[in-house]
Amino acid sequence: MFKIVENRMIVPNINLMTIEAPLIAGEVQAGQFVILRANDDGERIPLSIADWDRAKGTISVVILTIGGTTSDLAAIQVGKNIPTAVGPLGNPTEIEHFGTVLCIGGCYGIASIYPIARALKEKGNRVIAVMEARSSYLLYWEDKLEKVSDRLIRITRDGTKGYRGHVSKIPGIMQEAREPVDRIIINGCTFLMKRSADASRPYGIKTIVSLNPIMIDGTGMCGVCRVSVGSATKFACVDGPDFDGHEVDWKELLQRRKTYLKEETIVSETSRCEDHALKTRDEAL
């Protein structure tokens, strides 16, 4: 059992959850993930580890409430336990002295890019952090990212803060700044990573993406997380999650992520009110 010590909505539909998991907190490095279950009949879902406190023995994840399990997780009260938190899984992001590194985070990826930016900064890189959201009210952790970057760029789809548009603006922004970029690292939804990788491709800058396919065990056993990278099939849980964004077969990944779209809808349609009502009644009894 793993105790939840913090769970709050930091912007609409996105929760920050901090979990007591001293072993994971002791081992984790930037770019790794954890698999959680919300309850005993719950599914196992992978989430990037966004921050940790080795002394306190806690790890934090940022959860976009989008389906059944993420909703269940977001609803767990502080002080309660979840049955599974296993990790740190996957390989850490490669952290070297690259020179100037562009760290792009979108949506829940704003959180997971943070420890990567921090580690790169500690290695002496010049870090340009880029955060993207649909609107200004969905931006978070600006202060944290500011601290670990030399420059923080904000992009909102509606232009309410920073640049207006999408991260595909990045090449233009870089041109404008006239500063060479040695590496780009992108965390976020598959679509954002694809768009960003497409945008950086013409410039020939090494672009690393943190892939998020469907997973079950996360330990190299079930094979559902397979992705085509270059001409090979790779398993994101043990070979990744980081891959060269210019080599990933994005079309296939986007399709594979949609495998259970219909079932996710069933969960959303059937389990909200009724389920909640039943559970509340049980507790009252």
Minimum separation from the CB atom of position 14 to another protein (A): 20
3 binds another protein (CB under 8 A): no
68 binds another protein (CB under 8 A): yes
CA–CA distance, 159 with 6 (Å, rounded to integer): 32
Minimum separation from the CB atom of position 140 to another protein (A): 27
In the DSSP assignment, the letter for residue 248 is B
Cis amide leading into 213 (omega within 30): no
Here's the x/- map for another protein, 207-246, by CB under 8 A: it reads as ---------xx-xxxxxx-xxx----x-x--x--------
Out of 4, 14, 24, 205, the only residue in the binding site for another protein (CB under 8 A) is 24
**Helix 190-200 and helix 170-177, axial crossing angle in degrees, nearest 10:** 40
- Touching another protein, residues 86-115 (CB under 8 A): 86-89
CA–CA distance, 259 with 263 (Å, rounded to integer): 9
Out of 164, 260, 278, 280, the only residue in the binding site for another protein (CB under 8 A) is 260
Could you tell me which stretch among 19-27, 49-57, 94-102, 186-194 binds another protein (CB under 8 A)? 19-27
72 binds another protein (CB under 8 A): yes
How many other CB atoms are found less than 10 A from the CB of residue 210?
Answer: 26
**Helix 261-271 and helix 273-284, axial crossing angle in degrees, nearest 10:** 50
Out of 23, 177, 277, 278, the only residue in the binding site for another protein (CB under 8 A) is 23
Q: Provide φ and ψ at 156, rounded to 5°.
A: -120, 145
81 binds another protein (CB under 8 A): no
63 binds another protein (CB under 8 A): no
Which region holds residue 16: left if phi is over 0, alpha if psi is between -120 and 50, else beta?
Answer: beta
Could you tell me which stretch among 54-62, 119-127, 200-208, 252-260 binds another protein (CB under 8 A)? 252-260
Which stretches within the chain are classed as H helix? 22-27, 68-74, 109-122, 142-147, 170-177, 190-200, 236-239, 250-257, 261-271, 273-284
22 binds another protein (CB under 8 A): no
Binding residues for another protein (CB under 8 A): 23-24, 27, 37-38, 41-44, 68-69, 72, 83-89, 216-217, 219-224, 226-228, 233, 235, 238, 249, 251-252, 255-256, 258-260, 263-264, 266-267, 270-271
